[in-house]
Structure 1
Amino acid sequence: MTPRSTTDAPLSKPTFGAPAWLVDHRVLLSIAVLAILPWVLPSKALAVNVLIYGVVVMGYNLLFGYTGLLSFGQAAFFGSGAYLTGIAIGRYGLPWFAAVALAVALSTLLAAAIGVVSTRTRGIYFSMVTLALAQLVYYVALQASSFTGGENGLRGFTVERISLLGFPVNFLDPVNKYYVLMLFAALAMWFQSRILNSPFGAVIEAIRDNEQRARACGYNVERCKLIVFMLSGAISSLGGCMFALHLSIVPLDILHYQTSGMIVMMVLLGGARSFFGPFVGAATFLILEDVISLWTSHWQIFVGAIFILFVLFLPKGIWGTLLEALPRRGRR
């Protein structure tokens, strides 16, 4: 039997548990919702954070939700995107767009290096390898203090004005900043939608549903896992670039395993394998943190308890449950 490549006809058409019209226009509808987000949330800063973490979690959802690979090391790509952007701007004086492009490219190479090792394992071993390698990245950043600032984090870079199509934009204005960063989010959503609508998108879903069957059909499962690992790292690193441009500071904690755990919580709160779920999960987590932290410094206890309730009673997450509640006619 001649092995089939990932460009051949897919094993099955992707199913998203949503009406066809919602799937067909999901990028435009998502952008429309994000466009009004600053005006419905308590603050513009919170809206920017939802945007940033939504992109990071979206990248992780491609790996976990659509491919079924539980990684505990996504913070490595989130942090690498942020650090590389800050270093490129502050240390080497690159323009912001060149810094972002360079950071995403190098973070994708980092994802390839980690993926080559981790995708050789399966199950809990895969999760532990990604956790260990991500912590290795954390300690490299801690020791390379001349570049990263060590425990104090990376400082000394600020983007005050940017040029879009020849028009100068005051990037320090919260509204301008939000809509500039929303362009990055829109690009990431379009890119991921193209992946999911392609034959490769059907292949990774087939790997998630039944890896042995996908292998028996002739697909190179290991290569597909490595590619999706790199794509996931690239999208999450873009969120890191947005984080650096937003705060002009990159704390060391962005690379810590607690950040990876927070990303996992966000994707489960919103709904794994749902396109807009990452933004819903990020908004839910950040709003809970913002509100509960006003009452007590031990907000993690309450957020953790709420997360357990979601896992027990809403296993498909907020957005995934809402999609399931929609009429089933015309689903794809």
Structure 2
Amino acid sequence: MSTPALAAPIPSSTAAPSALAGTLTTYRVPLSIVALCLLPWLLPSQALAVNVLIYGVLAVGYNLLFGYTGMLSFGHAAFFGAGAYITGIAIGRFGIPWFAAVPLGVLCGGVLAFIIGMLSTRTRGIYFSMVTLALAQPIYYAALQASSWTGGENGLRGFTVESINLVGWKINFLDPVNKYYILLAFAALALWAVSRILNSPFGAAIEAIRENERRARTCGFDIELTKLLAFTLSGLICALAGTMTALHLAFVPLDLLHYQTSGMIVMMTLLGGARSFFGPFVGALVFLLMEDVFSLWTSHWQIIVGSIFVLFVLFLPKGIWGTFLAKVIR
């Protein structure tokens, strides 16, 4: 005699992971913001939490191009540094309020991304990567030579945002906790923008290009324009991370524009998981924790971090967060 009732629990058990995955996708922005709200209280210091927030936004912007569009760039330090320098110069040299200097820095970073994107997106594969690297390096040397504006090797100094007024409420921006949650508002804006992009027809277009560019062209997509827009949007978000760095440090080091920073962005994105929404923050957290720990042991901490990175690429190609989603949730 058959007992069909015993088979009833099977569909519900298999449906649970997919339902959870759907929930994480639908509410990825608020869930990410909630997780980031808890970060200062889970890490050893608020300063580390601020750095994770800033570099997480930087990796989120890069992931839009690399993870979702499939374009490996080695020049995104240019947009990161441009956003920081323009914000610092606007505040320190021209006395522009921070709330106007921030969008100015983002806009200039976006314009730079558009210009470099027009020249680099005409190429593919490793040629694209090398062109982005080659086009970003003149920005570094321009900042190095324009020492009267940028401070040269010593970096840009002489600007500090001590307090922020919100509807008549004065907030001490020098307090690490206040600083973190104010910068979190910028991170939330970046996450919302990326989520909207991914949920739009444009988001479907960039993922189609990543999967099969030739087929996407056959389907009628304007490949060149779509790549250029993706590159520009990615640069805008990276420039936003640069403005956050300027506000945080009240100092813009020249190293922000160096190609090593571009390499660090790639590592953070891959460690957390390219193509995953929250993965860049996980990658930034892991990278910065490794840097803090191993730099106490040796001045050659990059060798250890690089070796660990190679192991991640070989055995966890989806990154930490991407592997978690693949193995546990789905």
Alignment of 1:264-303 (within 5 A): 264-303=266-305
**Quick one: distance in 1 between partners of 2:146 and 2:128?**
27
Alignment of 1:1-332 (within 5 A): 19-328=21-330
Cα offset, 1:136, TM superposition: 0.9
Cα offset, 1:291, TM superposition: 1.0
**Quick one: distance in 2 between partners of 1:179 and 1:63?**
27
**Quick one: distance in 2 between partners of 1:20 and 1:58?**
21
Cα offset, 1:327, TM superposition: 4.1
Cα offset, 1:143, TM superposition: 1.1
State the AA in 1 paired with 2:279: G
8 Å CA contact 1:86, 1:244 repeated in 2: yes
What's the CA shift string for 1:89-108, capped at 9, x where partnerless?
A: 00000000100011111111
SS at match of 2:220: coil
Cα offset, 1:301, TM superposition: 1.0
User: TM-score w.r.t. structure 2 length?
Assistant: 0.93
Cα offset, 1:80, TM superposition: 0.3
Aligned residues: 313
**Quick one: distance in 2 between partners of 1:129 and 1:302?**
29
Cα offset, 1:144, TM superposition: 1.1
8 Å CA contact 1:19, 1:326 repeated in 2: no
State the AA in 1 paired with 2:99: F
The 4+ residue runs of structure 1 with deviation greater than 3 A are: none
Cα offset, 1:166, TM superposition: 2.7
**Quick one: distance in 2 between partners of 1:290 and 1:137?**
29
Q: Indicate the structure with greater helix content.
A: 2
8 Å CA contact 1:143, 1:150 repeated in 2: yes
Q: CA RMSD in A?
A: 1.2
Percent of pairs with identical residues: 72
**Quick one: distance in 2 between partners of 1:120 and 1:259?**
24
8 Å CA contact 1:27, 1:193 repeated in 2: yes
SS at match of 1:293: helix
Cα offset, 1:63, TM superposition: 0.3
SS at match of 2:252: coil
Higher RCO structure, 1 or 2 (CA under 8 Å, sep 6+): 1
Cα offset, 1:326, TM superposition: 2.8
SS at match of 1:69: coil
Cα offset, 1:294, TM superposition: 1.4
8 Å CA contact 1:160, 1:172 repeated in 2: yes
User: TM-score w.r.t. structure 1 length?
Assistant: 0.93
**Quick one: distance in 2 between partners of 1:99 and 1:207?**
35
SS at match of 1:181: helix
Task: Specify every segment of 5 or more residues in structure 1 that has no aligned partner in the other structure, as ranges.
Answer: 1-15
Q: Between Structure 1 and Structure 2, whose CA radius of gyration is higher?
A: 2
What's the CA shift string for 1:191-248, capped at 9, x where partnerless?
A: 0000000010000000000000110111100000000000000000000000000000
